[in-house]
Amino acid sequence: MSIRIGFGIDFHQLTEDRDLWIGGVKIPHHKGAKGHSDADVLLHAICDAMLGALALGDIGVHFPDTDASFKNIDSKILLDKSYQLIKSKGYRVVNVDSSLCLEAPKIKPYVSAIQEAIAGILELTVSDVSVKATTTEKMGFVGREEGLVAYASVLLEKI
C-alpha cells in the first residue's frame, strides 16, 4: 500500500464586514474572515494538506487570488476540486486531523456540522474527520481577535 501524508496551514485576518465560514459551515459571529474567496481557513488548510501530500503545490497555485473566477467562491468548491485532483492522481483520503486556533466564537457547537460537511466532500465517514479548536490564551494576533489559523494533516492512500 502506498501512503502519503500532507500538512496544511492557513491564516486569515478577521474583519467586521464578512461572514465567518469554518469547515464549510457559516458560524454566527460579529467578525468574519477576510480573503479573496469566502476565506474558510479550515478548508484551505485541508486543501493545502492534500495537495502537499502529492507535491502538487498549494491552494494559491491552483486557485490564485489574481483570478476573478475565484472571487468570493465557496471554499467547499475548492475542497472538492482539490479532492478531484487527488483522485485523478490515483489517491483517496483516509482521514483528516485538524486544529483551529481562535479566541471566539466557541467552535464546539458546530464541530459535528463541520465534520459532516468535510466528510461529505471527501467521501469519508464523520469519524474520519477530526476537528479540534484552541485559543492562544489572549496572546498574539489570534488572542487580540485580529485573525485565525487552521492546521490540517491528511493521510492519503493509493487507490
Question: Which pLDDT value is given to residue 155?
Answer: 98
H/E segment holding residue 113: helix 111-122
Residues 6 or more apart whose Cβ sits within 8 Å of residue 83: 50, 93, 121, 122, 123
CA atoms within 13 A on the CB side of 127: 0
**Residues 83 and 122 sit within 8 Å (Cβ to Cβ):** yes
Looking at residue 153, which CATH number applies to its domain? 3.30.1330.50
Question: Which pLDDT value is given to residue 52?
Answer: 98
Q: Which domain, by its residues, includes 61?
A: 3-158
- The number of distinct structural domains making up the chain is 1
Question: Which pLDDT value is given to residue 1?
Answer: 63
Rounded CA-CA distance 70/32 in Å is: 18
Residue-wise pLDDT tens for the chain (159 aa)? Answer: 699 999 999 999 999 999 999 999 999 999 999 999 999 999 999 999 999 999 999 999 999 989 888 998 999 999 999 999 999 999 999 999 999 999 999 999 999 999 999 999 999 999 999 999 999 999 999 999 999 999 999 999 999
Tell me the pTM.
0.97
From the centroid of its chain, how far is CA 8? 8
- Terminal-residue alpha carbon distance, the chain: 9
Question: Which pLDDT value is given to residue 131?
Answer: 98
Q: Which of 42, 113, 122, 116 is nearest to 81 (CA)?
A: 122
